[in-house]
Amino acid sequence: MQEKHLYEYSVIRVVPRVEREEFLNVGIILFCKQARFIKVLYTINEKKMQLFSSELDLEQLQLNLESFQKIGCGAKDGGPIAQFDIPSRFRWLTALRSSAIQTSRPHPGLCNDLEQTIQKLFEEMVL
């Protein structure tokens, strides 16, 4: 019998105008302390973004989401936060903020395969 993993995930959202509180889901962060696993997946649907907000700087959005990914995977060029331990990186990425990129509150789950689970969540919540 395969071991079940307790994980947490959060949905990455783009909020072009914070005061309007409207958002589009663009990614998923999945974290499992026991497996020492964290992964960030995202995509930018430019056509959808432009319909949602013509003022949004897509180049800057791409750079910001790349930073999220670098912090998540602990990249050497991800800055000082990317050097934190995995649980601290997840908590930093999912901290409450009022900026153009926000995350949902973390949600728990149990699974056998973390890679398969993040792909499934990404398809359901983002694509």
Q: How would you write the pLDDT of the chain (127 residues) with one tens digit per residue?
A: 678 999 999 999 999 888 888 899 999 999 999 999 999 999 999 999 988 888 889 999 999 999 999 999 999 999 999 999 999 999 999 999 878 899 999 999 999 999 999 999 999 999 9
CA distance 3 to 22: 39
CA distance 76 to 81: 10
**pLDDT of res. 43:** 98
Residue with tokens 């919540």: 125
- Domain residues for the domain of 115 are 5-125
Total domains present in the chain: 1
Provide the angle, in degrees to the nearest 10, between the axes of the packed helices 86-93 and 58-73.
150
The torsion defined by the Cα of 20, 21, 23 and 29, in degrees rounded to 10, comes to 150
| Segments in 74-113 forming alpha helices (H) | 86-93
**pLDDT of res. 16:** 86
- Coil, helix or strand at residue 25: strand
Q: Mention every residue, 6+ apart, whose C-beta is less than 8 A from residue 127.
A: 43
**pLDDT of res. 108:** 98
**pLDDT of res. 72:** 97
